[in-house]
Structure 1
Amino acid sequence: MGLELRMVGYSALLGFAQIVLASHTASFQRGYDWTAGPREGAVPPLTGAAHQFARVSANFLETFPIFAALALAAHVANREGPLTSWGVQLYFWSRLAYAPLYRVRLVRSLVWNVSAAGMILIAAALLWPVQ
């Protein structure tokens, strides 16, 4: 298995870990009766770490399908190379750094842009291959 597919797998595991953290911190805040119940009705908004992990998880889930689609398409089209290698690594490592940097406003945005640049590199390799 190549680097691109491994990084898709690592990214999926990272996303799962972020979902688990978001779920558990929300449960700690709202109580396990709420978690085990039907979750209907109004609830107060999450605060602190629970809010942060919910936002980090939601943000990851907004970008991961695009990343995975690009990386898998590059693999299927046999377009893997230096651009895809850089792209998948930029995406994964910046998404890993995003969670602890969530409250550092400008740095968080910069890190998000690095993950977006990774996806752009993969798209470039897929759509405009170097001959």
Structure 2
Amino acid sequence: MTTELQYLAWSIVLGLVYLMAYATAIRRQNGVEWATGARDADKPPQGLAGRLARAQRNFMETWPFFAVAVLLVHLLAKESARSAWGCEIYLWARVAYLPLYALGVPWLRSLVWVVSMIGLIMVLSAMF
């Protein structure tokens, strides 16, 4: 398995971490009965649960682009040091993003997001 595909696999694990962090926080906020029920009553996430919901949504806004870029690099046999570094930068920036968002750190969180986008662009640029 190439380095890029390994990072793609780890990004799936990271996506599950994002999802589980949010799911745990919203269950704590609204209780087990709400979590196991039909959820007919709308209870929007607040505080930590809200920040984790937004972080998870943000991850899911960027991850499909990352996944497709990695798969295209692999299918086109364009793996390189640049694509591997881009994958690593994207993944580790997204790892850092989750606790920064959960803690409500504004400027550094945004900077880390920009770093993750640089990693994604590096993967994309490896195709050309």
* Shorter-chain TM band: over 0.9
Per-residue deviation, 1:57:
0.9
Q: Paired residue for 1:104?
A: 105
Distance, in Å, in 2 between the alignment partners of 1:40 and 1:76 is 44
Q: Which runs of 5+ in 1 are unaligned?
A: none
Identical aligned pairs, as a percentage?
Answer: 37
Aligned to 1:123: 124
Q: TM-score, normalised on structure 1?
A: 0.92
Q: Counterpart in 1 of 2:45?
A: 46
SS in 2 for 1:29: helix
Structure 1 runs, 4 residues or longer, greater than 6 Å off: none
Give CA deviations for 1:38-64 in whole Å, capped at 9, x if unaligned.
112332x32222112111111111111
Q: How many residues align?
A: 126
Q: What letter corresponds to residue 4 of structure 2 in structure 1?
A: E
State the Cα distance separating 1:32 from its structure 2 match: 1.1
What amino acid sits opposite 2:80 in the alignment? G
Q: Residue 62 of structure 2 aligns with which residue?
A: 63
**Match of residue 31 from structure 2:** 31
Partner of 1:3: 3
Structure 2 residues without counterparts, runs of 5 or longer: none
User: How many Å separate the matches in 2 of 1:49 and 1:27?
Assistant: 11
The SS at the match of 1:34 is: helix
User: Given the two structures, how large is their TM-score scaled by the length of structure 2?
Assistant: 0.94
